[in-house]
Amino acid sequence: MPPTPRELGYRFPAEWEERKATWLSWPHNRETWPHSLEAIQRLWWLLMDTLSGSERVSVLVSEEEYNRHPMPYGQVKIIRQNIIFHKCPTNDAWLRDCGPTFLKGHAGLPAALIDWKYNAWGEKFPPYDADDAIPKYIARFGNYRRFEPGIVMEGGSVETDGEGTLLTTENCLLNPNRNPHLKREEIEEILREYLSVDKIIWLQGEIAGDDTDGHIDQLTRFVCPGVVVTALEEDPQDENYQALKDNYQHLMQLSDARGRALEVIPLPMPRPIFAPEGHRLPASYANFYIGKSVVIVPSFEDPADAVAGEILQRLFPQHAVFLLPARELVYGCGAFHCITQQEPA
């Protein structure tokens, strides 16, 4: 058996660690946003401009979109300062879930990433072959060593403090639509060996409308070692109330891999948002993204927007917090964390 990332000295870094770039996939699938694709594409430009002030933004685009811009340079184009387009086919825009998990190694180790299998959240949205191939493209482009655990996994299903603690959910990782041949203990062993974590915290439940079967990045996030924010619904009549309350109470009893009792900070939930077709959408402030010098927080035109922004600004005093519009984005059942993937330095 080849050595695992853990055996070689790699680890899964926290999102706030030293940054090289943010990766995105250009939105083009009208089935995902049938009412607002053009508005979504304008939102991508707003996001790219916000991030690119302090870090490189690498964007995977179709050949059609690539050819709309001048300055050809093989497979890559510099569109604006710090914004780079890569000609790479994609099925959809959820790069957090189909893209690679970047690893950080000891000094002298070559850069590396994990290429999980991807099946569009349990075969829900075929085709997904182009998205499944994205880690191979990024590995070739960046000359990354590529590890293949051979299991289905999405980036939004795992969250780390960078110091050996991993958050995930039973609803997603133990769902038979991902890896029905694997038991919980076998999945834990793969996570330990490929992400170099020592303690795995399992939460339960999912918010209404979440088609990922309960990704952790809609529920609970690390903001620094020993500290998490977690979505908490105040309305006892809301369908999310009990599951989020149970997670909060469970987290209050836990410690991390280094023995620190977790500090648990509640994040409010926005009022329910419904699609034109009538179903509820998975709106959550927990789906924020930590950039190099900014934090991107979804805004839902809700009174709780400002509250969530203020909480995260206190927790990230060295970052500028930006509330970007997400009501149309969440129609696709995700927000800013779902569409981004950090590349550590």
In terms of phi and psi (left: phi > 0; alpha: psi -120 to 50; beta: otherwise), the region of 333 is left
Residues 225-241: tens digit of each pLDDT? 999 999 999 999 999 99
pLDDT for position 101: 99
- The domain made up of 5-344 is a member of CATH 3.40.50.1820: no
Mean pLDDT of the chain: 96
Which sequence positions are flagged as catalytic?
338
pLDDT for position 1: 81
Residues 212-223: tens digit of each pLDDT? 999 999 999 999
- pLDDT cut 90: percent of the chain above it: 92
Residues 285-321: tens digit of each pLDDT? 999 999 999 999 999 999 999 999 999 999 999 999 9
For the chain, domain boundaries: 5-344
* Reported confidence tier of residue 79, pLDDT bands at 50, 70, 90: low
Kindly report whether the global pTM for this prediction surpasses the value 0.85. yes
pLDDT for position 76: 65
pLDDT for position 68: 78
pLDDT for position 155: 98
Q: Does the structure show a pLDDT above 90 at 186?
A: yes
> From CA 225, how far away is CA 161, in angstroms rounded?
5
Alpha-carbon distance values, 193 to 4, 186, 233 (Å): 6, 11, 35
Residues 147-168: tens digit of each pLDDT? 999 999 999 999 999 999 999 9
